[in-house]
Amino acid sequence: MRSLLVFSTVTFSAMLLLIFGLAAASYPRLAVTLADEPANKNEVKIDNFSFQPATLMVPAGTKITWTNRDDVPHNVISTDKKFASPVLDTDEQFSYEFKDPGTYLYYCSIHPKMTGKIVVQ
């Protein structure tokens, strides 16, 4: 009886996987939409002369990675001089670990109208 229950649970899990797998395959647009979501909340994309998201809230100890998805160079400069990236060409990245809670403003010194904010909790 117990082994039957285990078997049923395994079978049920396998069926669920199969169903969701088929559903994902049947709805490629849904799959693309999910893939377009940030894989994690530790990433800021630089695109079209803006930081996206412009404000990111993270727990203390989070390492944030900026990626330049634009076809012009940008950088990531802390307003309080806490961090500064080199100039990032297309697809280049910069990472910084935020150890202490606080609000960290930053901008692109090449295009000072580009600003962003990291809120560390």
At 6, phi and psi to the nearest 5?
-60, -45
Measured from the CB of residue 74, what is the shortest distance to Cu ion in angstroms? 3
Half-sphere exposure of 120 (CA within 13 A, CB side): 16
Shortest Å, Cβ 98 to Cu ion: 21
Q: Least CB distance from residue 112 to Cu ion, whole Å?
A: 8
Select 12 or 89, whichever has its Cβ closest to Cu ion.
Answer: 89
Angle between helices 2-26 and 28-36 (to 10 degrees): 90
Nearer to Cu ion, 62 or 70 (CB): 70
Can you tell me the distance from the alpha carbon of 22 to that of 27, in angstroms, rounded to the nearest whole number?
9
User: Under the rule (CB under 5 A), what is the footprint of Cu ion?
Assistant: 74, 108, 110-111, 114
Identity of the residue, 17 or 91, whose beta carbon is nearer to Cu ion in the bound complex? 91
